[in-house]
Structure 1
Amino acid sequence: MFRITKEFHFSASHQLTHLPHDHQCARLHGHNYIVVIELASKTLNKDGFVRDYGELKALKTYIDDTFDHHHLNDVMDCPSTSENLAQHFYDWCLARWPETSAVKVSETPKTWAEYRP
């Protein structure tokens, strides 16, 4: 199996309002997020790629236009946790690139959430 990954960055605020008011994540705060998309294939295309990295620019555009420097509570229909972001980006990518196998999201240098069906 061949696997490739590409990393994207964005900054955004959010608030997990469903948590108790004294929970730190219930307060308005922000993160510098990292999103890593993974694509996998048993074979390579005629150019020797799982997929050309240049094609993944569409994800950067989507992130920049929809998430970067936005309030995630206004963007998402569910709690804006890293886990939900990972699944959201996975679903968005899979609709465009069938080789999508996983998405990881980090909101701090020490924390990661991954969605991999």
Structure 2
Amino acid sequence: MFRITKEFHFSASHRLEHLPEDHQCHRLHGHNYIVVVELAAKELNADGFVRDYHELKPLKTHIDDDFDHRHLNDVMDAHPTAENMAKYFFDWCKQRWPETAAVKVSETPKTWAEYRP
């Protein structure tokens, strides 16, 4: 299996309002997010790629336009957790690129959430 990944960055705020008021994530705060999309294929295309990295530009545009410097509670229908973001970006990518195998989202240098069916 061949696998490629590409990393995207954005900054945004959120609140996890469903948590108790004394929980630090209940308060308004922000993160410098990293989104990593992974694509996989058993065979390479005629150009020798799983997929040309340039073809992933629509994800960068989507992140820049709809997530960067936004309040995620206003952007997402689900609680704006890293786990829900990983699933959201996975579904978004899978609709465009069938080779999508997983998406990881980081809120801090030490924390990652991944969605992989």
Name the TM-score class by shorter chain: over 0.9
Write the mapping of 1:1-117 to structure 2, written as runs, cut at 5 A: 1-117=1-117
Match of 1:36, as an amino acid?
V
**TM-score normalised according to structure 1 size:** 1.00
Cα distance in 1, alignment partners of residues 8 and 75 from structure 2: 18
Match of 1:7, as an amino acid?
E
Match of 1:114, as an amino acid?
E
Q: Which runs of 4+ in 1 moved over 4 A?
A: none
**TM-score normalised according to structure 2 size:** 1.00
Cα distance in 2, alignment partners of residues 77 and 34 from structure 1: 20
Identical-residue share of aligned pairs (%): 79
Task: Structure 2: give runs of 5+ residues left out of the alignment.
Answer: none
Distance apart, 1:37 and its partner CA: 0.2
Cα distance in 1, alignment partners of residues 5 and 77 from structure 2: 27
What root-mean-square deviation, in Å, do the aligned CA atoms of Structure 1 and Structure 2 show? 0.2
Task: Structure 1: give runs of 5+ residues left out of the alignment.
Answer: none
